[in-house]
């Protein structure tokens, strides 16, 4: 299966921590962009395999629902849907309307991913977001009556000013809304954002590593107790509601990205479209190659990427699948890395494979990075 990712980069406002390819919404720019995106999709080579579709951003629901429906029809005419189909759209809650959700469902959307981040007013404002808890509840209720199968809430921890109590309260409010899926990400301060300047000026405003670990543990405990399966470092699902699009990504599967800044991966080559909006629009609308950066992942680097992605998941890495795909005996090849982690209780190894222990999940990024750096 291949994932189709489509980037819709316009937002009603710009959040100070955001490092995505995004621009403030302007009608004329949004229209030109949709035309260019349509041209890029029309020019793509079709293939006969199954696909999941993910409309991400940016804020996809700055576009009218009929434009989203038109975009999905264009994608569907070229790429056959996975069976069962999974078509996700990310939305900002304050822009959600019941009519739009019904139109999405009619156009084939099966999954709604709502950017909540927090239910605590002061944290929502600190993050520069403009919704409130009532708008999230209304969006979830509207999604339920629209016929969309699966509702996911994005939450964020390690937000400046966040406490264990406030995070617990956001988790409890999220759980009370009975979503099918929750993503809980630790805030990463990216260089070049206003948050990076803030952290440089006032590092103590940001939670330290100990508090961040406690907040992550709180999320795992609260969500698992509520019946969610912790199936990836940052992702929790009720049975039958894992995100197939992202599961393909973690399985090191192939994906095709459309739009400014979108990434693709296929035949060992990873490429990322330019993040220059004008350069993207002009190339796509003139049928020229979209400027991009690409690299061929070979040998150890390709295998290391696969290990890094697989260890993010609850099932971890399968030795048999790894050997079949990369021709390597995992335990022999990575012995110098695996043993110390196993002895430290961070990695669990049995006859079939390796996976992070609960303690290992807290330092997942560090552990995963070591598999990439092995020459
Ligand atoms: S709404 Fe999302 S994509 Fe847009 S600026 Fe905020 S975090 Fe970034």
Dump pLDDT digits (tens) for 173-188.
999 999 999 999 999 9
Residue 318 CA neighbour count, 13 Å, CB half = 8
Question: How far away, in angstroms, is 92 Cα from ligand 1 center?
Answer: 9
Cis omega before residue 315 (within 30°)?
A: no
Task: Give the domain ranges of the chain.
Answer: 2-249, 299-373
Task: Please determine whether the domains at 2-249 and 299-373 fall in the same fold group of CATH.
Answer: no
Q: Is 179 in the pocket of ligand 1 (CB under 6 A)?
A: no
Tokens representing 36 are 């260019």
Over residues 199-229, the pLDDT tens digits come to: 999 999 999 999 999 999 999 999 999 999 9
Q: How far is the CA of 11 from the centre of ligand 1 (A)?
A: 6
Closest residue by CA, ligand 1 atom 2: 58
Please give the radius of gyration of the chain, using alpha carbons only, rounded to the nearest integer: 21
Residue nearest to ligand 1 atom 8, measured at CA: 18
Mutation to probe ligand 1, out of 9, 59, 155, 260 (largest number of atoms < 8 A from CB): 59
| pLDDT value, residue 375 | 59
Quick one: how far is CA 17 from the chain centroid? 16
How do residues 51-79 score in pLDDT, each as one tens digit?
999 999 999 999 999 999 999 999 999 99
Cα(331)–Cα(337) distance, integer angstroms: 9
Q: Is the pLDDT of residue 311 over 80?
A: yes
Compute the distance between CA of residue 357 and CA of residue 362 in angstroms, rounded to an integer.
9
Indicate whether residue 15 lines ligand 1 (CB < 6 A): yes
22 lines ligand 1 (CB under 6 A): yes
Please say if the pLDDT value at position 374 is more than 80: no
Q: Is 7 in the pocket of ligand 1 (CB under 6 A)?
A: no
Q: Does 198 contact ligand 1 (Cβ within 6 A)?
A: no
Over residues 99-122, mean pLDDT: 98
Nearest CA to ligand 1 atom 7: 18
In CATH, 2-249 is 3.30.2320.80: no
Place of tokens 């038109």: 70
Interval 123-143 mean pLDDT: 97
Distances (CA, A) of 167 to 71, 117, 243: 37, 10, 24
Nearest CA to ligand 1 atom 5: 14
The pTM score is: 0.95
Give yes or no for residue 118 CB within 6 A of ligand 1.
Answer: no
Mutate-to-test residue for ligand 1 from 114, 115, 260, 275, highest number of ligand atoms within 8 A of CB: 115
Tens of pLDDT, residue by residue over 144-165, are 999 999 999 999 999 999 999 9
If you average pLDDT over every residue of the chain, what do you get?
95
* Domain formed by 299-373, architecture: Orthogonal Bundle (1.10)
Q: Whose CA is nearest to atom 6 of ligand 1?
A: 15
Site to probe by mutation for ligand 1, drawn from 8, 9, 10, 11 as the one with most ligand atoms within 8 Å of Cβ, is 11
Instruction: Give the angle subtended at the CA of 51 by the CAs of 372 and 256, to the nearest 5°.
Output: 50
């Amino acid at each position: 299966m291949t994932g189709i990712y489509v980037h819709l980069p316009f937002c009603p406002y710009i959040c100070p921590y955001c490092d995505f390819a995004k621009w403030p919404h302007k009608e004329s720019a949004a229209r030109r962009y949709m035309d260019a995106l349509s041209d890029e999709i029309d020019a793509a080579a079709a293939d006969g395999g199954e696909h999941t579709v993910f409309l991400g951003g940016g804020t996809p629901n700055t576009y009218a629902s009929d434009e989203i429906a038109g975009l999905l029809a264009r994608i569907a005419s070229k790429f056959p849907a996975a069976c069962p189909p999974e078509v996700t759209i990310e939305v900002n809650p304050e822009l959600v309307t019941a009519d739009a959700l019904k139109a999405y469902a009619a156009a084939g959307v099966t999954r709604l991913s709502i950017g909540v981040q927090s239910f605590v007013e002061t944290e929502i404002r600190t993050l520069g977001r403009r919704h409130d808890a009532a708008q999230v509840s209304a969006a979830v209720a509207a999604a339920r009556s629209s016929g969309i199968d699966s509702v996911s809430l994005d939450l964020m921890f390690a937000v400046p000013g966040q406490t264990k109590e406030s995070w617990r309260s956001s988790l409890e409010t999220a759980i009370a809304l009975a979503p099918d899926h929750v993503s809980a990400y630790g805030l990463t301060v990216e260089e070049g954002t206003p948050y990076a300047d803030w952290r440089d000026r006032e590092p103590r405003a940001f939670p330290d590593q100990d508090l961040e670990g406690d907040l992550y543990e709180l999320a795992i405990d609260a969500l698992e107790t509520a019946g969610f399966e912790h199936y990836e470092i940052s992702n929790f699902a009720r049975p039958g509601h894992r995100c197939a699009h992202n599961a393909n990504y973690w399985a090191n599967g192939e994906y095709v990205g459309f739009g400014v800044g979108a990434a693709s991966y296929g035949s060992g080559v990873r490429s990322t479209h330019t993040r220059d909006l004008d350069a993207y629009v002009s190339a796509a609308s003139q049928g020229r190659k979209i400027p991009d950066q690409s690299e061929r992942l070979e040998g150890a680097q390709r295998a290391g990427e696969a290990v890094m992605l697989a260890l993010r998941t609850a099932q971890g890495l399968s030795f048999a699948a790894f050997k079949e795909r990369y021709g390597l005996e995992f335990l022999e090849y990575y012995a110098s890395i695996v043993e110390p982690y196993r002895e430290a209780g961070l990695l669990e190894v049995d006859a079939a494979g390796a996976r992070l222990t609960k303690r290992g999940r807290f330092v997942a990024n560090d552990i995963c990075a070591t598999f990439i750096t092995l020459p």
